[in-house]
Structure 1
Amino acid sequence: MTFPSNPVLSAMAARRSVSKVGPETPTDAQLAELLAAVTHVADHKALRPWRLITLRGDDRMRLATALDEAAGVTREPGEYNTKPFRAELLIAVVASPKEHPDVPVWEQHAVAAGAGHLLELALWGAGWGVMWRTGMLANAASVRAAHGLRDDELLMGWLYVGNIEESFRVKLRESKRPALDPRQFLGRMPSSSPE
């Protein structure tokens, strides 16, 4: 589905996860520019219960080591967990709840997920490929320690970011995959019946 008169809806409808991104990445200044839009995520009481951590260069090796430690994996010298090296830039999305009597933690986690998805959309709109990856070990003690998380914080996963290869762009343009029927996601409250 296309929305020619609405570039925001067009970008949302065209967004795809890109499992294999190229080596080019946005700079921190470019990320900050995109974040200016992300900070408007729906946020009850404006608590800003989220933060992002960028992992570049050696940070990815620290994550690889932490993931292996969490999994109880011992590798031969020179071998390492390659998962964090699928992209030159990883952005950890962290739910960072604030104490508030009117905003439960689950709602603050939802805000953090919303911020992560808005950033994913902003990156896509700016021409970058993104894949949000999680995993059973995301909140293992060694992984949390590597990210410097507080006890009350939750690591919601990593955005793997890089350029999109032209062959993938062509594949997207030529895709005949139909859009999902949106009606399956809409419903009404059940009618109340007298007892």
Structure 2
Amino acid sequence: MAHIEITNGQPGITGLMIQRPDTAAPLNLLAETLLRGPLTLSRGERELIAAYTSELNTTPFCSGSHSAFAAAQLEGGHDLVKSVLHDPDAAPISPKLRALLAIAAEVRGEVRAVSQEAVAAAREAGADDAEIHDTVLIAASFCLFNRYVTCLDTEEPADAGYYDVSAQRIVEHGYGAAVASAR
């Protein structure tokens, strides 16, 4: 049971956002900008970074949600996402995405500068300043989102199919509209 009363019956961050539209608006804008805005990494790759960060932070709701969102937008779908979450070094992804996931892993750890080695590896794999920046900001933002969901002890969905239904809404309508339609 969540640490606060959530009266809308929705799990995870969805319930929190419906409960508090005043805080949901800027958080949804941040997610929309980072995960769906016009950046050089694909939407699926950005969702995969969010899912990977959430998995490392042991936040099942966010990991499940963003895994489904990534799977809906990446060739390879759920199998690819599962392989990345299990072992990104062996997953069938580009060297650049692998290097960016290594940066995300450092961001979610102890607060300190990402290592020169991780940045150099990303650059060597073809990542540019914008992609390194965006990876750090996605991972850092998901540390915030993960803590929001976990620290308030929100519930996970009763049905695992919830994530795929949510993925359809996110892919089609984005973050703000998806929360509004979940009401």
TM-score, scaled to structure 2: 0.29
Q: Larger C-alpha radius of gyration, 1 or 2?
A: 1
Whichever structure has more strand as a proportion of its residues is 1
Whichever structure has more helix as a proportion of its residues is 2
- Relative contact order higher in (CA < 8 Å, ≥ 6 apart): 2
